[in-house]
Amino acid sequence: LLLLKFGRDAESQSDELGVEYSSKIGYDAHEMAEFFNTLARKSSEAGADQIPEFLSTHPNPLNRKERVHELADEWQTQLNAQDLEVGRNSYLEMIDGIVYGEDPRQGFVEDWTFYHPQLKFEMPVPNGWRYQNSPQQFQMAPADGKALMFLALASGSNPQEAAGGLVEQYQLQVLSSTNKTVNGNSAVEIIGQQVTQEATADTPAGTPTVKVKITIIEYDGLLYQLTGACGASDFNSYVSQFDATMEGFKLLNNQDKLGRLPERLDIRTINQGMTLQQALSANGIPAERFDEFAVLNGMLLTDNLESGTLLKVLEGVQP
């Protein structure tokens, strides 16, 4: 709870400074307040609205909105500010063509396979598992949270050296170590476990707690570690899924996947009055993405747009 407070305090201070700085250079900070409507809508989609504010690392977006409106009034009164600028159009023009969403060139999942076009490999993801991609690693876990598997780069000059470093890093008791190949690539497979170091009333020293399977694969000049871990008693339930992913690591040569490009924003001008929903439809946004682009534009689908309004849609999508 102490750390949560630091997170909220930092956000509150950023709001205060944002209002102060923007007001001093002639912008209308009330527009900043309205952005928190968008945050609230995204939080609601993710289920974050169900978390009490005192357990959240960020202040409630709607509370922040009210506070920023108050701060904006205070600064505009203090500065006797008039004819304040909004700058919506100039901002939208600056982000025209920007990448929207995740960049598939950095990895994406499709039909329970993880593809990485830049590094030119693919591997299966266990069906139904949740996953998260980041520049450092690709993580996978079942919904019950009883296991974890991840892909990351490993350190070392060869798979054997990398495996030894991971055994030491994870303080593993090695049960087996095997040199092998995975789809033509040199590899090392380690099965190990972490054990209790000291006895307790219920558990003697040396009792296995976590069991781990690691496969280090040398591929295209890099070393990749695929690590699967779970409670020692659950290992037999998950090892087949670990195996399928680790044994499925291979060269990506599907040209469709290799050539996958990110979506980019296209800023377009509405040439006549209409609702946001009509404007999205007229600009090629499919109906199943209407809500997504309403949030992105900070509007409601029923909002009436004037002729000349700039709108965020997708590049390459034809009206």
pLDDT digit string, tens, across residues 155-175: 999 999 999 999 999 999 999
- Locate 130 and state its tokens: 């949740």
Cα angle, residue 315 at apex, residues 314 and 319 outer, rounded to 5°: 75
Average pLDDT estimate for 111-117: 98
Could you give the percent of the chain with pLDDT greater than 70? 91
Predicted pLDDT at 286: 96
pTM: 0.70
Predicted pLDDT at 37: 80
User: What are the pLDDT digits (tens) for 258-301?
Assistant: 999 999 999 999 999 999 999 999 999 999 999 999 999 999 99
**Structure confidence at residue 235 as a pLDDT band (50, 70, 90):** very high
| Listed residue (63, 14, 20) closest to 39, CA to CA | 63
Beta-carbon contacts of 26 under 8 Å, excluding residues fewer than 6 positions away, are: 81, 84, 85
Q: Enter the CATH code of domain 104-257.
A: 3.40.1000.10
CA distances from 222 to 111, 121, 175, 186 (A): 26, 12, 26, 11
Backbone angles phi, psi at 20, to 5 degrees: -60, -55
Residue 207 near residue 179 (C-beta atoms within 8 A): no
- Locate 300 and state its tokens: 């409601």
Predicted pLDDT at 54: 36
**Domain map of the chain by residue range?**
2-85, 104-257, 263-314
Average pLDDT over the chain, rounded to whole? 89
Could you give the percent of the chain with pLDDT greater than 90? 71
Predicted pLDDT at 65: 84
Predicted pLDDT at 53: 40
Report whether pLDDT(312) > 70: yes
Predicted pLDDT at 52: 41
Number of Cβ atoms within 10 Å of the Cβ of 140: 25
CA distances from 258 to 121, 139, 253 (A): 9, 21, 7
User: What are the pLDDT digits (tens) for 40-94?
Assistant: 787 776 554 443 443 344 567 788 888 889 999 999 999 998 888 888 999 999 9
